[in-house]
């Protein structure tokens, strides 16, 4: 996170507020110049010398979603109370530091915030020798870490792999896209004549079948919902899988994609970006914690309770790309899969480990999951992905 | 109007609002901006709108969103039948000009137009906006930022007074950034023990203090259990009503009643099985 320092040339509230907006923008909130004006207007509508009120008002105004809402307090403290600031000099006592760090108008805030404030300050022990603060209570990401993950993902998305995976995803999507209803419905062009309608229309012509109506089997496209594991154990394969997801999105089939490790995030829009590198950049911003632990059942649970209501229907194939190594309770995984099973048409688990010789699903989570899967298929290389097509035809 | 007015006003309607929500409502009125409320089901998102309407003593105009909701159901529609009748009737009298057909008389006002054209600022509740399609969300942008609606035949109708707009969302779909930027935002979570107790006492003052304490304690503990559908405030109030209706005074002494009234709290079979009487015994034992 950027070190906050009030420039000595700062001219009053407006200047500092635009600095605060810039600080929020740097930490991923979607705010701009318009919000600066709004923030000042909001402060004039309340008692701006009360830090509690100012905090609440700015939070309500500037937070855009639940994630921003949770992070706001830490970001607010970091800017206005210099809580994320790196101090290189001799450490003063907490009390003195807090007092001096506060802007003049909020020196007299009530005891309650003072307590939380010092609590936060203790949580942030500066890392000596490091140029940047590492964040507070795990809430703020250091810019350096963010840069690192972005660079990694750009390497992941190299052109050649992308093309191959895209081709594999295309054939796969095509295999399930071309679904037609068994029932025939009226249509302008069709192989069969619609005798019933012809007869009905012939009444108007005195019983002569002059107007010919036709019927055909309308398409009933399948949808794909892909959930890809990007935890530490999957790092080797994420190269293949991210490209594969991008291919799925570009295939023309209705597809929805999510990444998960310990949390779930929707990446459909980021992957839809035509500029591959920019897509990778957007992805990396989302994939904070990329390469950490896994909580498969928790992620699926949050998918089901949030997006699931809309994303799943009777024509949806759920693809889970994961190795099944997970820190949570295997029974929970079975339960959540059973619930997804009720809403979706098919669940397919693509497991990179399955491609290994003599693989047995001994991971407890995989054993709990097996009964609910329609297919458990290998996917460790691009070739393996390409070879999935005949399997998908059968689904 | 100040912040404490908002809090007192809502409290008078039996709605216990936390500080941030009160601030959000205060700013929504001061700045004339819509307010977007998110949070799990049953934490009182829709109730806020009702409470505000009752407090300001104004109309509540509600637009329930659903997949496939379109402009003719949300904004306005021409009354075709009446227009046809008017044409027929005037034909008999010797013709009419079509300008007379496109006037206020033949306009069917749907919730959004109704809210914009009202004389006294109403409360406009756009419920579960995430269920509506993205196209409709885009349509809302003009209404929410400028409080105006363009009708090709009549011109642009601008609001004389800005309605108080409250949008709610459950997170079934990501809302667009454009919509979020136009709104103030507030996330409502499940309330803390004290807040929930205050809500129960505000809503049902005749429930005894010990029973109220137990009810809230059990529901709070139940939320920590691994359930498919976590019980919200509405469920808690239902349960309290059921228990007090059955004449229960102490949860620990009327275990049978507790077990049969659990249907008020747990809404799926799996959840119901997840809370057998042993689990409930444990939860009640903790709070009693």
pLDDT digits (tens, 9 = 90+) for A156-185: 556 666 677 777 777 777 776 666 777 888
Residue B204's CB is within 10 A of a number of other CB atoms, namely 15
Minimal Cβ distance to B185: which of A47, A60, A309: A60
Rg of chain B in Å (alpha carbons): 24
Residue B137 and residue B17 share a domain: yes
Please give the residue of chain B at the shortest CA–CA distance from A339: B228
- Of the residues A24, A40, A65, A269, the best mutation for testing chain B's interface (the one with the most B CB atoms within 10 Å of its CB) is A65
Please give the residue of chain B at the shortest CA–CA distance from A298: B226
Cβ contact A332–B185 (<8 Å): no
**In the listed set B187, B211, B231, which residue is the last one of a domain according to the structure?**
B187
Three-state SS letters, B189-247: CCCCHHHHHHHHHHHCCCCCHHHHHHHHHHHHHHHHCCCCCCCCHHHHHHHHHHHHHCC
Distances (CA, A) of B126 to A63, B40, B238: 20, 17, 25
Distance CA A109, CA B168 (A): 33
**Residue-wise pLDDT tens digits, A9-23:** 667 788 888 889 988
**Residue-wise pLDDT tens digits, B58-98:** 999 999 998 888 888 888 888 888 888 888 888 888 766 66
Tally C-beta pairs within 8 A across A and B.
Answer: 71
CB B114, CB B60: distance < 8 Å: no
* Angle, in degrees to the nearest 10, between helices B209-224 and B193-203: 130
Distance CA B166, CA B15 (A): 16
Min Cα distance B185 → chain A (Å) is: 5
Which residue did the predictor score with more confidence, B98 or B6? B6
- The answer, for A73 touching chain B at a CB cutoff of 8 Å, is no
At residue A130 the predicted structure's pLDDT band, cuts being 50, 70 and 90, is very low
Q: Return the structure tokens found at A391.
A: 């399997």
Q: Is residue A16 classed as helix, strand or coil in its secondary structure? A: helix
**Residue-wise pLDDT tens digits, B213-240:** 889 998 998 888 878 788 999 899 999 9
Which residues from A are below 8 Å from B24, CB to CB?
60
Residue B209 and residue B85 share a domain: no
At residue A377 the predicted structure's pLDDT band, cuts being 50, 70 and 90, is confident
Q: Which of A238, A235, A240 is nearest to A292 (CA)?
A: A235
- The answer, for A38 touching chain B at a CB cutoff of 8 Å, is yes
Beta strands in B60-209 (DSSP E): 60-64, 76-78, 107-109, 123-127, 148-151, 155-158, 164-169, 184-187
Q: For chain A, give the longest Cα–Cα distance.
A: 104
Whether B18 maps to a domain, the answer reads yes
Distance CA A274, CA A279 (A): 7
Whether B205 maps to a domain, the answer reads yes
Residue B147 and residue B125 share a domain: yes
Cβ contact A56–B19 (<8 Å): yes
Minimal Cβ distance to A41: which of B23, B31, B270: B31
Q: Is residue B70 classed as helix, strand or coil in its secondary structure? A: coil
Flag whether pLDDT at A113 surpasses 60. no
Name residues 39-68 of chain A within 8 A of B (Cβ): 41-42, 45-47, 52-53, 56-57, 59-61, 63-66, 68
Predicted confidence at residue B171, as pLDDT, reads: 76
Residue B26 and residue B62 share a domain: yes
Range of the structural domain that residue B115 is part of: 3-73+110-187
Write the CATH number for B177: 3.40.50.300
Predicted confidence at residue A88, as pLDDT, reads: 41
Flag whether pLDDT at A139 surpasses 60. no
Long-range Cβ contact pairs of A283-288 (< 8 A, separation 24 or more): A283/A153, A283/A242, A283/A259, A284/A146, A284/A149, A284/A150, A284/A151, A284/A152, A284/A153, A284/A154, A285/A28, A285/A146, A285/A150, A286/A259, A287/A149, A287/A153, A287/A230, A287/A259, A287/A261, A288/A141, A288/A145, A288/A146, A288/A149
The conformation of residue A233, written as its DSSP 8-state character, comes to: G
Cβ contact B27–A266 (<8 Å): no
Min Cα distance B173 → chain A (Å) is: 6
Residue B118 and residue B98 share a domain: no
Distance CA A256, CA A303 (A): 12
Q: Is residue B2 classed as helix, strand or coil in its secondary structure? A: coil
At residue B186 the predicted structure's pLDDT band, cuts being 50, 70 and 90, is very high
Residue B198 and residue B174 share a domain: no
Predicted confidence at residue A115, as pLDDT, reads: 41
**In the listed set B165, B187, B209, which residue is the last one of a domain according to the structure?**
B187
Flag whether pLDDT at A150 surpasses 60. no
At residue B55 the predicted structure's pLDDT band, cuts being 50, 70 and 90, is very high
Predicted confidence at residue A210, as pLDDT, reads: 86
**In the listed set B187, B205, B227, which residue is the last one of a domain according to the structure?**
B187
Please give the residue of chain A at the shortest CA–CA distance from B4: A46
Cβ contact B23–A60 (<8 Å): yes
Min Cα distance B216 → chain A (Å) is: 24
The conformation of residue A159, written as its DSSP 8-state character, comes to: H
Whether B164 maps to a domain, the answer reads yes
In sequence order, the 6+-apart residues with CB closer than 8 A to the CB of B183 are: B33, B34, B35, B36, B144, B167
Residue B133 and residue B19 share a domain: yes
- Of the residues A21, A46, A60, A330, the best mutation for testing chain B's interface (the one with the most B CB atoms within 10 Å of its CB) is A60
Residue B128 and residue B101 share a domain: no
Predicted confidence at residue A117, as pLDDT, reads: 40
Flag whether pLDDT at A94 surpasses 50. no
Q: Which of A62, A35, A45, A53 is nearest to A106 (CA)?
A: A53
Whether B233 maps to a domain, the answer reads yes
- The answer, for B38 touching chain A at a CB cutoff of 8 Å, is yes
Q: What CATH number belongs to A159-175+220-394?
A: 3.40.50.410
Min Cα distance A55 → chain B (Å) is: 9
Mean pLDDT of chain B: 87
Distances (CA, A) of A389 to A223, A346, A377, B183: 16, 15, 11, 46
Residue A354's CB is within 10 A of a number of other CB atoms, namely 19
Which residues from B are below 8 Å from A70, CB to CB?
187
Please give the residue of chain A at the shortest CA–CA distance from B30: A45
Residue B63 and residue B155 share a domain: yes
Distance CA B35, CA A61 (A): 9
Residue B253 and residue B157 share a domain: no
Q: Return the structure tokens found at A299.
A: 């992620």
Distance CA A225, CA A165 (A): 17
**How much is the ipTM here?**
0.83
Cβ contact B187–A46 (<8 Å): no
Predicted confidence at residue B89, as pLDDT, reads: 84
Predicted confidence at residue B123, as pLDDT, reads: 94
- Of the residues A56, A334, A336, the best mutation for testing chain B's interface (the one with the most B CB atoms within 10 Å of its CB) is A56
Which residues from B are below 8 Å from A47, CB to CB?
3
Our count of domains for chain B comes to: 3
Residue B198's CB is within 10 A of a number of other CB atoms, namely 16
Q: Return the structure tokens found at A20.
A: 């605060």
Percentage of chain A lying above the pLDDT 70 cut: 67
Whether B288 maps to a domain, the answer reads no
Residue B166 and residue B120 share a domain: yes
In sequence order, the 6+-apart residues with CB closer than 8 A to the CB of A362 are: none
Cβ contact B31–A66 (<8 Å): no
In sequence order, the 6+-apart residues with CB closer than 8 A to the CB of A372 are: A334, A337, A338, A340, A341, A347
- The answer, for B66 touching chain A at a CB cutoff of 8 Å, is no
Please give the residue of chain A at the shortest CA–CA distance from B23: A57
The secondary element (H helix, E strand) that includes residue B274 is helix B269-274
Which residues from A are below 8 Å from B189, CB to CB?
none
The conformation of residue B97, written as its DSSP 8-state character, comes to: -
Which residues from A are below 8 Å from B171, CB to CB?
66, 306-307
Flag whether pLDDT at A84 surpasses 80. no
Cβ contact A60–B228 (<8 Å): no
Minimal Cβ distance to B181: which of A30, A45, A60: A30
Whether B82 maps to a domain, the answer reads yes
Residue B160 and residue B84 share a domain: no
A376 bridge partner residues? A349
**Residue-wise pLDDT tens digits, A183-219:** 888 888 888 899 999 999 999 888 888 888 999 888 7
Domain range summary for chain A, segments of one domain joined by +:
12-140, 159-175+220-394, 182-216
């Amino acid at each position: 996170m950027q070190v906050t320092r009030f420039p000595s040339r700062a001219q009053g509230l407006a200047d500092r507020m635009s600095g605060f907006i810039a600080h929020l923008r740097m930490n991923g909130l979607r705010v701009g110049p318009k919000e600066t004006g709004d923030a000042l207007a909001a402060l004039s509508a309340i008692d701006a010398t009360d830090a509690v009120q100012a905090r609440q008002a700015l939070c309500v105004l500037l937070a855009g979603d639940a994630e921003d809402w949770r992070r706001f307090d830490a970001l607010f403290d970091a800017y206005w109370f210099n809580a994320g600031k790196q101090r290189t000099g001799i450490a003063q006592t907490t009390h003195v530091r807090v007092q001096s760090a506060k802007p003049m108008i909020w020196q007299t805030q009530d005891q309650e915030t003072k307590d939380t404030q010092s609590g936060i300050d203790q949580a942030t022990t500066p890392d000596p020798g490091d140029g940047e603060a590492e964040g507070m209570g795990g809430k703020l990401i250091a810019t350096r870490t963010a840069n690192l993950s972005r660079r990694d993902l750009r390497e992941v998305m190299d052109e050649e792999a992308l093309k191959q995976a895209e081709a594999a995803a295309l054939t796969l999507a095509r295999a399930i896209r071309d679904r037609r209803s068994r029932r025939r419905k009226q249509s302008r062009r069709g192989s069969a004549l619609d005798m019933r309608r012809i007869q009905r229309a012939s009444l108007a012509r005195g019983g002569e079948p002059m107007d010919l109506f036709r019927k055909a089997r309308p398409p009933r496209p399948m949808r794909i919902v892909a959930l890809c594991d990007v935890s530490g154990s999957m790092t080797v394969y994420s190269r293949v899988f991210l490209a594969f997801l991008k291919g799925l999105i570009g295939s023309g089939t209705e597809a929805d994609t999510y990444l998960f490790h310990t949390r779930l995030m929707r990446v459909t829009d980021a992957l839809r970006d035509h500029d591959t590198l920019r897509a990778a950049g957007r992805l990396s911003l989302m994939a904070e914690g990329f390469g950490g632990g896994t909580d498969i059942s928790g992620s699926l649970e949050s998918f089901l309770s949030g997006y699931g209501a809309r994303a799943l229907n009777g024509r949806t194939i759920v693809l889970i790309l994961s190795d099944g190594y997970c820190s949570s309770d295997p029974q929970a995984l079975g339960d959540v899969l059973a619930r997804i099973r009720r809403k979706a048409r098919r669940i397919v688990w693509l497991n990179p480990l399955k491609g290994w010789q003599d693989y047995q699903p001994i991971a407890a989570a995989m054993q709990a999951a097996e009964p609910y899967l329609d297919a458990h298929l290998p996917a460790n290389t691009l070739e393996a992905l390409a070879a999935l097509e005949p399997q998908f035809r059968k689904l | 109007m100040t912040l404490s007015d908002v809090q007192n006003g809502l409290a008078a309607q039996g709605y216990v609002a936390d500080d941030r929500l009160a601030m959000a409502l205060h700013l929504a009125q001061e700045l004339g901006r819509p307010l977007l409320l998110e949070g799990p089901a049953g934490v009182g998102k829709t109730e806020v709108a009702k409470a505000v309407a009752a407090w300001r003593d104004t109309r509540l105009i509600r637009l329930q969103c659903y997949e496939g909701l379109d402009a003719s159901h949300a904004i306005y529609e021409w009354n075709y039948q009446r227009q046809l009748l008017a044409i027929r009737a005037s034909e008999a009298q010797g013709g009419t000009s079509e300008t007379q057909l496109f006037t206020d008389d033949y306009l069917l006002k749907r919730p959004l137009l109704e809210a914009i054209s009202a004389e006294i600022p109403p409360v406009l509740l756009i419920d579960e906006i995430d269920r509506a399609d993205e196209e409709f969300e885009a349509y809302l942008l003009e209404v929410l930022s400028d409080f105006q609606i363009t009708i090709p035949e009549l011109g642009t109708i601008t609001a004389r007074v800005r309605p108080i707009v409250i949008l709610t969302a459950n997170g079934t779909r990501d809302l667009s950034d454009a919509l979020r930027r136009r709104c103030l935002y507030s996330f409502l979570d499940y309330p803390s023990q004290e807040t929930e107790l205050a809500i129960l006492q505000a809503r049902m003052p005749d429930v005894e203090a010990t029973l109220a304490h137990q009810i809230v304690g059990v529901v709070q503990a139940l939320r920590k259990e691994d359930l498919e559908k976590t019980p919200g405030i509405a469920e808690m109030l239902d349960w309290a009503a059921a228990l007090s209706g059955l004449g229960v005074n102490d949860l620990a002494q009327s275990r049978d009643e507790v077990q049969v009234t659990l249907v008020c709290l747990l809404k799926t079979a799996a959840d119901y099985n997840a809370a057998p009487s042993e689990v409930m015994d444990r939860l009640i034992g903790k709070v009693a």
